[in-house]
Amino acid sequence: MKMEIPAAVADILEKLQANGFEAYAVGGCVRDALLGREPEDWDITTSALPQEVKKIFRRTIDTGIEHGTVTVMIDKTGYEVTTYRIDGDYEDSRHPKDITFTASLKEDLKRRDFTINAMAYNPQEGLVDIFGGQEDLEKGIIRCVGSARERFDEDALRILRAVRFAGQLGFEIEEETKQAIPEKAAALTRISAERIRVELDKLLVSSHPEKLLVASETDILKYVLPEYDVMLRTPQNNPHHIYSVGKHCMKALQCVNEYCLANEIDRKQRSVLSWVMLLHDAGKPEMKTTDFAGIDHFKGHAEVSAKLAHNILRRLKFDNQTISLVTRLIKWHDYRFTPEEKHMRRAANRIGVDIMDLLFIVETMDVRAQNPETWEAKLSIIQKAEEIYQEILKKQQCLNLKDLAVNGGDLMREGYQAGPKLGEILNYLLECVLENPEQNQKETLLRLTKEKFQ
Ligand code: ATP
Ligand code: MG
């Protein structure tokens, strides 16, 4: 069989072979190329030792020499070239105690996690598929190479990777592999938060984030995201809703992912939006009350959700910017817009102009995951509110202190003393301008100041 590979990769393979070594593209890139997907990066596996690789190529970087990896630079792209290796005993559910280089491609493929990730290719020999990876790709199956129990014992992260690949590829986890998951899931507590974050994040932004439900069924979530398990166990008896809290949030997440795909939203924002949708109602279980008619209410849940999300994202070691964006959006996700200019200016001022665009998306997806009978009315309000907000932006109306036509310096030149009083005046003027944007002129504002404060 013949596979399209980039010229630079073909070049690296040829050079290694010309020097008497074996060399193949391997792993994720072979899998993706067979699926007709664009591989993120091309990894190469070779019988050459790192020092030998370094001798053959002009520009190399010692990425992980002790693990056998050298990055070969071709133009501005790096290609990881790794020596065939066998992982030694694993001591902490994650790190092999030692690794040994080997002359056997088969041994190298055997250490890899799933059959679909354990194929190698070069143009001379075609596909090397020892464990039935191609068949599993065709059947849409995630299956461990060898005994799933043993593979999960060696490295518990593979448990979460199985679900992540299921989400990215829309695959099912093969039965034996799936059965081993709940038996071994507890070892996930020994995996670093960063690694767990990476896998969860890739799953959430994937085309099948609902595979997170498989993570719940197989006991993974109780070790990595117990809050979401609680959400799944919280029904909502309320005319606005037709799903449990957890299912509702999952629907909202699926909606936002479709939206992101259709609108080419960048990776970072996709991540923010995904986590917002998944956790926007995380506080509902805690805040649930049931009235005399049996209807559930969740007053104050947005604030509590924001706090919980903050804790979760901190625990998963997200960067501060992501944590701040996600928690702010969750805090405001239930804000009811009044589609009038004045109200929208106040909303933008309170919520923050920097997150308004995202908030419209969040509120829309939240509605789309609620009772369809309520969509029309709710969506039309959000849409009108957004139109009005866009008008406000177009007219460049003042929404913040920094857009005010006077500043502290102007007031001091008028004889007002520096200090808290200045802040009070400026806030008063901002209130005036939010109410009447045409007042945002220096003369007018100074006159208003005199009228009020002298
Ligand atoms: P992606 O880059 O989309 O995350 P990938 O399959 O390339 O997918 P990487 O994490 O980049 O995944 O790893 C490259 C290859 O290394 C995998 O295809 C697999 O063969 C092997 N591999 C990675 N992590 C593990 C692991 N924890 N256990 C065993 N093999 C692994
Ligand atoms: Mg990769």
Q: Cα separation of 70 and 88, whole Å?
A: 20
DSSP labels for 161-216? Answer: HHHHHHHHHTPEEPHHHHHHHHHHGGGGGGS-HHHHHHHHHHHHTSS-GGGHHHHH
Nearest Cα residue to atom 30 of ligand 1: 112
Centre of ligand 2 to C-alpha 43, Å, is: 7
Q: Hey, how many other C-beta atoms are within 10 angstroms of the C-beta on 320?
A: 9
Question: Which ligand is nearest the CA of 82, by number?
Answer: 1
Pocket mutation for ligand 1, best pick of 67, 112, 201 (most atoms within 8 Å of C-beta): 112
Cα-based distances in Å from 239 to 90, 165, 257, 304, 380: 52, 36, 26, 22, 19
The amino acid at 185: A
25 with 122: CB under 8 angstroms?
yes
Mutate to test the pocket of ligand 1, among 82, 113, 128 (most ligand atoms within 8 A of CB): 113
Written as tens digits, the pLDDT of the chain (454 aa) is 889 999 999 999 999 999 999 999 999 999 999 999 999 999 999 999 999 999 999 999 999 988 999 999 999 999 999 999 998 777 777 777 788 999 999 999 999 999 999 999 999 999 999 999 999 999 999 999 999 999 999 999 999 999 999 999 999 999 999 999 999 999 999 999 999 999 999 999 999 999 999 999 999 999 999 999 999 999 999 999 999 999 999 999 999 999 999 999 999 999 999 999 999 999 999 999 999 999 999 999 999 999 999 999 999 999 999 999 999 999 999 999 999 999 999 999 999 999 999 999 999 999 999 999 999 999 999 999 999 999 999 999 999 999 999 999 999 999 999 999 999 999 999 999 999 999 999 999 999 999 998 7
Give the whole-angstrom CA distance, residue 408 versus residue 86.
67
Rounded Cα gap, residues 206 and 369, in angstroms: 18
Distance CA 359, CA 277 (A): 11
Instruction: Determine the distance separating the centroid of ligand 2 and the alpha carbon of 65, expressed in angstroms.
Output: 18
* Number of the ligand 1 atom closest to the C-alpha atom of 27: 18
The ligand minimizing its distance to the Cα of 144 is 1
- The C-alpha torsion from 330 through 303 and 236 to 295, rounded to 10°, is -140
Distance separating alpha carbons of residues 342 and 338, to the nearest angstrom: 9
Q: Ligand 1 pocket test: which of 42, 67, 117 has the largest number of ligand atoms within 8 Å of its C-beta?
A: 117
Length of the chain in terms of residues written:
454
φ, ψ at 155 (rounded to 5°): -145, 105
Residues measured by CB to lie within 5 Å of ligand 2, the ion: 28
User: What residue ranges line ligand 1, CB within 6 angstroms?
Assistant: 27-28, 40, 43, 112-113, 117-118, 155, 157-158
224 CA distance to ligand 2 middle (Å): 23
